[in-house]
Structure 1
Amino acid sequence: MKDEVFFSKGMNPIKEDYPDLYDISVSLNDVCYTGKSLDYKTQKLVAIGIAAASSDNRAIKKQILSGMKELDITKEEVMDVLRVVLLLSGKPAFMKGINALYNIKE
């Protein structure tokens, strides 16, 4: 997450009602997405792969969307990630990633 862009609907009420928890979430993202060794785009592609490997439909879609909006990640780049998901996590996880990718309106 860069520039406090959250794609979770639950973060807006947290920001308003529990600013301390919101600030911790922002800080955690900043610590995790440092870009020290891997640039932010590569880290986002890793996040897409993890979401797909976990077969979490909502997380897959949110990670792909944020990557496309924030970092101009392409369909082809996501497909490269999903190929690795297919190899390491199997066809069900791969297909969930494919379904999320093809249900996103570009």
Structure 2
Amino acid sequence: MKEGIFFGEGMKFVKDDYPDIYDAVVGLNKAAYTGKVLDYKTQKLIAIGIVAATGDETATEKQMRSGMNELKITKEEIVDALRVVLLTSGMPAFTKAMKVVSKL
């Protein structure tokens, strides 16, 4: 969600009809992705790992695509992040995420 890019289809509705909530989400995004210590690319790889650990293939694909498009994150870098998912979240989450990355 860096720089106003929101993938959730509901965000347009929120932006148009509930600008106060939208502004709060934008502010949270800015607070989370500061680049103070970890650069945005590293933060994005962490986000990919976290969402992959949930097993949500749609959200995982969106995170991966945005990282690849915005930050030129490679499949190899994503797989390195997914190695941690395997260790911490197990085989089901890992294999779902690997299926996603293999299709990109």
1:78-93 alignment runs, 5 A limit: 78-93=78-93
**TM-score, scaled relative to structure 2:** 0.94
Per-residue deviation at 1:2?
2.1
Q: Which residue does the alignment assign to 1:19?
A: 19
**Pairwise CA RMSD of aligned residues?**
1.0
5+ residue gaps, structure 1: none
State whether residues 7 and 66 of structure 1, in contact with CA within 8 Å, keep that contact through their aligned partners in structure 2.
no
Alpha-carbon distance in structure 2 between the residues aligned to 1:2 and 1:53: 21
CA deviation vs aligned residue, 1:43-76 (integer Å, no higher than 9, x gap): 0000000011111112211111111111111111
Secondary structure of 2:7's counterpart equals coil
User: Separation in 1 of the partners of 2:69 and 2:59?
Assistant: 15
Identity of aligned residues (%): 59
Q: Which runs of 4+ in 1 moved over 3 A?
A: none
Rounded to whole Å, the distance in 2 between the matches of 1:15 and 1:89 is 34
Aligned equivalents of 1:103, 1:17: Cα separation in 2: 35
The structure that is helix-richer by fraction is 2
Structure-1-length-normalised TM-score = 0.92
**Unaligned stretches of 5+ residues in structure 2:** none
The corresponding residue for 1:2 is 2
**Residues 1:38 and 2:38 aligned together:** yes
